[in-house]
Amino acid sequence: MGMPRQNLARPALLLSSAQFYIAAMRTRNLAGNKASKSNIAKPGEKTQAARQKLPDPARVAEIFRRFQAANPHPKTELEYVNPFTLLVAVVLSAQATDAGVNKATRPLFAIADSPAKMLELGEARLQDMIKTIGLYRTKAKNIVALSARLVKEFGGKVPRIREALQSLPGAGRKTANVVMNVAFGAPAIAVDTHIFRVANRIPLAIGKTPVQVESGLEKITPEALKHDLHHWLILHGRYVCKARAPLCDRCLISDLCQWPEKPSLNQAAG
């Protein structure tokens, strides 16, 4: 079972955050409109420019309100017992399902729940325990290497800073953000394939890269909601807004979604 994360100080209701956000974004949009009057968009750029502008603040606030009402305290589906085991689980989750990772890590974490114990286990035994996960050889090598780095440079502790986390073998920006968010309660938004798809599809933040989407989400999300937004969008993309067959008829924000390929109510009924 995952260790309970600390309860972060956040507003009991979303309304105050939404009102503050709406006021701030309206001011930003007005300033942006004044600055853009001197720039005339080329014919081929009109559609792209329309999609790139910041989304309507009231619409975004309502999306956040519905997510929060449906799932006030979202959590990761990866199982872990401490920051180190979370880090290992996230490294293993690349191109793998959380369910598949959990199946492999339950017996693994029972005997290797620290960097020192992972080094004692060794790469060969680790490979054998995670061989049901894709790219297990590379992942085993990275996990042993990052365990060694943690022991040598960080006193066996998982660092809380993104740059330090990203310096570990097998840990990129997404992994760092997940660990910061889940293990340490930081308002970090990790953009995986689900969040990338959902953010572009609704849309909440348009971007060609995960970093662009992360930046866009940072701009439109109140600070008090950044911690939970990461989980809301992952779960929404995993179970509702799927890549190949999105369940638009079951979507709690279907009426607010502006995806051009979204089936109409008449099509869904038919």
The pLDDT, as a whole number, for residue 137 is 96
Express each pLDDT in 216-234 by its tens digit.
Answer: 999 999 999 999 999 999 9
CATH 1.10.340.30 boundaries in the chain: 83-184
Supply the residues annotated as catalytic: 174, 192
Instruction: Identify the CA nearest to 57 among candidates 31, 14, 19.
Output: 19
Q: Which of 229, 202, 209 is nearest to 217 (CA)?
A: 229
State pTM to two decimals. 0.79
Per-residue model confidence as pLDDT tens digits over 28-75:
444 444 443 434 444 444 434 445 578 899 999 999 999 999 999 999
Q: Taking 70 as the threshold, does the pLDDT of residue 12 lie above it?
A: no
The answer to whether residues 163 and 153 touch, using CB atoms and an 8 Å cutoff, is no
Q: Which CATH class is domain 8-37+44-70+195-260?
A: mainly alpha
Q: Residue 264 — very low, low, confident or very high, per pLDDT cuts 50/70/90?
A: low
Q: In this predicted structure, what is the pLDDT of residue 239?
A: 96
d(CA 175, CA 78): 13
Domain with CATH 1.10.1670 in the chain: 8-37+44-70+195-260
Mean pLDDT of 261-265: 74
Residue type, position 185, single letter: G
Q: Tell me what the pLDDT averaged over the chain comes to.
A: 84
**What pLDDT, on a 0 to 100 scale, did the predictor assign at position 55?**
86
Fold type of domain 83-184? Endonuclease III; domain 1 (1.10.340)
Contact 127, 140 (CB under 8 A): yes
pLDDT at residue 262, rounded to an integer: 85
Neighbour tally for 94: CB within 10 Å: 18
DSSP states of the chain? -PPPPPPPP--SSSHHHHHHHHHHHHHHHHHHHHHHTT-PPPGGGHHHHHHHSPPPHHHHHHHHHHHHHH-SS---SS--SSHHHHHHHHHHTTTS-HHHHHHHHHHHHHH--SHHHHHHH-HHHHHHHSTTSTTHHHHHHHHHHHHHHHHHHSTT---SSHHHHHTSTT--HHHHHHHHHHHH--------HHHHHHHHHTTSS--SSHHHHHHHHHHHS-GGGHHHHHHHHHHHHHHTS-SSS--GGG-TTGGG---TTPPPHHHHH-
Digit-coded pLDDT (tens) for 173-211: 999 999 999 999 999 999 999 999 999 999 999 999 999
